[in-house]
Structure 1
Amino acid sequence: MSTTDKDWVGDPRNASPDGEFVRDTTYIDDRITADAPAGQPTAQEDGTFHWPVEAGRYRLIAARACPWAHRAVIVRRLMGLEDVISLGLAGPTHDVRSWTFDLDPGGVDPVLDIPRLQEAYFNRFPDYPRGITVPAMVEESSKKVVTNDFPSLVRDMIIEWTDHHRPGAPNLYPAEHAEEMEEINKYLFTEINNGVYRCGFAGTQEAYEAAYERLWNALDWAEERLSARRYLVGDHVTETDIRLFTTLVRFDAVYHGHFKASRNKITEMPNLWGYLRELFQLPGFGDTTDFTEIKQHYYIVHKEVNPTQIVPVGPDLSGLATPHGREAFGGQPFADGTTLPGPLPEGEGLKNPEPFQK
């Protein structure tokens, strides 16, 4: 299958015989690592390549609409990598070929000088057969994609880029919680992060109802867990919280109606709602969340789900700026000695902020 045959560039998908949504999770699994020698990427025994950590060499291509890319944008900001890894932002909508840079002057990424992310994939793999996905790390000089494996891409920004982290950057992957984080991360992916898609793209009533039950079992688990603790793991924000945040912040605006995940809104679940408000109010979270682009992506691109492509005006999201009360559980967002990120770099502010975000 050629890339142009893919009918869902941002969310690669397949359908099982019973109508269940099955995500294509095969990615370019090269990595950027601290121990890779300078220069050209080094071949590994498993057939992948390790690329060297090098300031100014790579450009993170993301889209504010995409929850998987949003994770990478948040981590880049929290780690203070804005001057080390440049950021390119694709527009919220795309066609069957690729994410496009229609937000930039002339519809061309100003650093890579390409109109479509597809070109960076084809520069390295001329016959690349899979979906053109974000986030993707691209080598600026060659304009070739390095990796689009979003879990390791994000993790490596936390673990492998430490020499370039800002002073006071948080520890988002504490070793003492690594085992528990991995267990919860896996559960979040299968049941919540991908669970909303399993509801939205179900091909039969039976598949939808099964997906709906699984999703709400998991959201009830998260609501219960957060009734007794401030964060999912430990006493501070971790990568695990970022993984849940990017789904929760899209839930009421998109997944509740568009994906028919409609038992409750997050605003109706007191612990998840307080937790979401706290995270949203932290630098790196709310200031990287563009609800206009999120809604445009889902409601315009998913024509099978929303044939009219009408984008809803609501919901009212101003409650995200209200007090959250999560201090009652103890702990704090980041450990002592950690500092919050500074102002957003010039040119990286939201293009479509909600009134309460201004």
Structure 2
Amino acid sequence: MSDDPLVVAPKVLLHDHLDGGLRPQTIIELADEIGYTDLPSTEAEALGWWFRDSADSGSLPRYLETFDQTLAVMQTKEGLFRVASECAQDLAKDGVVYAESRYAPEQHLRQGLTLEDVVEVVNAGFRDGEARAAEAGRPIRVTALLTAMRHAANSREIAELAVRYRDDGVAGFDIAGAEAGYPPTRHLDAFEFLRRANAHFTIHAGEAFGLPSIWEAIQWCGADRLGHGVRIVDDITIEGLPFATWLEAHRDNARALAEVDLDGVQLGRLAAYVRDCRIPLEMCPTSNLQTGAALSISLHPITLLKRLLFRVTLNTDNRLMSHTSASREATLLAEQAEWTVADLRWVTINAMKSAFIPFDQRLGIINDIIKPGYVPLLPETS
């Protein structure tokens, strides 16, 4: 077990894609089992670097090709079970105590599985991974978020599936995929169904597209949380300048966001609403660098939003493609953006408060696991 305090520290993930977190060796072995021969490499280290290089390439086709490779080996019960179990084990080893893992059931039907088959075998895999993690002394709870794709027409069916399984390992619903040209309002029927069923949902919004996407997700669709939401800074001015303009003028100062005088910061109506209503932001710094939504870790908007007390949470998005983990995201912010252990404790509690499980269960994890877990890591004055 690691003695790195940022690995030992209890962590919570709300935004982690199941098909973006496979072990390279698992991909190779599953591909061999099903006769899939299109992998770019059959050596684990080289395959891992291919995923990272493709995600860093700046080429959208290359980035999307990485998911073609992971999805190819997630089409059987055996493959899905193993991937889900290893997901839980890997997160637990990294100090994650609660995670919501999202995936799109409709993307796993190529070899004859039904939507119900997919959900049930993934849930079974998570339970297996939880049991193995507990045996290793790293207990974790993993729930699922069922994702519908923005460009497809299956969102109502996936929403109904999420409600059907919400007492059996599924915590909520999500939509993902390209924001531009596919607004969340195309899926109003699904969101209205979820609201009538008193079900939780999040929406990918405010990453590749800006404020209109965030506004629609909140005001038209009623999202409980925002997946990414990093572009909310487009509704913030600093010293009278739009955030992007101000940041461009200070891009050579790695401490700019840590030093900015908050008295000179002005929130627009939408940003103020998001903060006032404590709408959680599922932020993924490394992933945002790859997609161009942020300049660097040191100048990632998460630091300003944290200082302004938005309900910021820290997440991984796609661990394989971003070559990251919950601990690595925390370490990068500590090393490059002056985050303290107290800051990391704060975002962890934010995330647990925002999870899609019952209040008493959230409170129990905060009081019994997260807060005690940070006590030996914090200065006595914290």
Sort the TM-score into its range (normalised by shorter chain): 0.3 to 0.5
Higher strand share: 2
Superposition TM-score, scaled by structure 1 size: 0.33
Higher helix share: 2
